[in-house]
Structure 1
Amino acid sequence: MHRPLFLHILSALETHDSYFVQKRDVAGKIGLSSLQKVTAAMRMFAYGVSADSVDDYVRIGESTTIESLDRFTKAIVANFSDEYLRSPTKEDTTRLLAIGEQWGFPRMLGSIDCMHWTWKNCPIAYHGMYTGHIHTP
């Protein structure tokens, strides 16, 4: 994901829900940052991993990750559903078909799903993460 897009989403979430704003607790200790909470939620969505597996990467607890995911989902729907979570209009379809044509994929609407292609030089560490329905990377 491009950094400006991530920061746009982060800003929208912070504006929508104060949970994503970094605060101090009662003892004056700084809490988790919005970057940690949003990254944990996005990693769970992107890689389909469990909440406790995000702890090693983001340094955030399982219960906080689950709450972040729940609030992230609700905030995304509230902020972006009118623009992105809707059926495409005729103008959208025309624009997407033109983009596909420009990139050499005429009459294609959407993106290419490469999960059926075998990744010959897939690192061993990624085998489980990138295994398709035929059980090969």
Structure 2
Amino acid sequence: MRRHVFLRMLDHVQAANPYFRQTHDCTGQASFSPHQKLTCALRMLATACSADSLDKSFRMPESTAIENLGQFCCTIVTIYGSHYLRAPKTDDLDRLLKRAEKREFPGMLGSLDCMHWQLKNCPTGWQGSFSGKTGKPTIVLEAVADFDTWI
């Protein structure tokens, strides 16, 4: 039986970065559990919620939530970057083109998705350069993924 993707990711993250292992301070008080840290980071990325909004549900202060997200992102890039975040090779492109052609999408390499993400704390001097259609500062996030969710 295959393990749940969350638990596999938790194992990978804990093995790659000691930050995600539970520790105890000098008084014996346990730190946040690896499950809390991973869930908090995933929630922030999935729902684009602010770090201070997690205080009630995770009892994690804003500064810790921000540190946690940074550790998570760096760790994910370290673990999966060489496979999923690399430039495609010729054989990769051939495989993708053949698969797309079978599905009657000749010439398609992947699916592109974009979203505007509002910058809450954009420096005042940069706001004119990053104004979106709503007049508020935003950046555009773009992602391309193939059939294997390779970004």
TM-score clears 0.5: yes
For 1:57, give the aligned amino acid. S
Structure 1 residue 76: Cα displacement: 1.6
Q: Distance in 2 between matches of 1:114 and 1:74?
A: 22
CA deviation vs aligned residue, 1:75-99 (integer Å, no higher than 9, x gap)? 1222222111111122322333444
- SS of 2:26's equivalent? coil
Q: CA separation in 1, counterparts of 2:62 and 2:80?
A: 26
Q: Which residue of 2 aligns with 1:63?
A: 63
Find the counterpart in structure 1 of residue 85 from structure 2.
85
Aligned partner of 1:72 in structure 2 is 72
1:101 to partner: Cα distance: 4.6
Aligned partners of 1:47 and 1:106: how far apart in 2?
Answer: 34
**Residue number in structure 2 paired with 1:127:** none
Structure-1 separation of matches of 2:64 and 2:110: 34
Q: Identity rate of aligned residues, in percent? A: 43
Cα separation, 2, equivalents of 1:84 and 1:29:
38
Change (3 A) 1:99 1:12: same
One-letter amino acid of the counterpart of residue 38, structure 2:
V
RMSD across aligned positions (CA):
2.7
TM-score, normalising length: structure 2:
0.61
Cα deviation code 1:9-62 (max 9, x no counterpart):
221211121110012222222221111111211222222221112233333221
Alpha-carbon distance between aligned partners in 2 of 1:13 and 1:36, rounded to the nearest angstrom: 13
The 1-side partners of 2:71 and 2:33 are apart by 15
Q: What pairs with 1:8-87 in structure 2 (closer than 5 Å)?
A: 8-87=8-87
Q: Equivalents in 1 of 2:88, 2:74: separation in Å?
A: 22
Q: Counterpart amino acid of 1:48?
A: A
Question: Equivalents in 1 of 2:82, 2:66: separation in Å?
Answer: 25
Separation in structure 2 between the aligned mates of residue 100 and residue 48 of structure 1, nearest angstrom: 32
- Equivalent AA in structure 2 for residue 93 of structure 1: L
For 2:60 and 2:103, the matched residues in 1 are separated by 40
Match of 1:126 in 2: none
Structure 2: where are the runs of 5+ without partners?
116-132, 135-151
Separation of aligned partners in 2, 1:111 and 1:25: 46
CA distance in 1: counterparts of 2:113 and 2:64, whole angstroms: 32
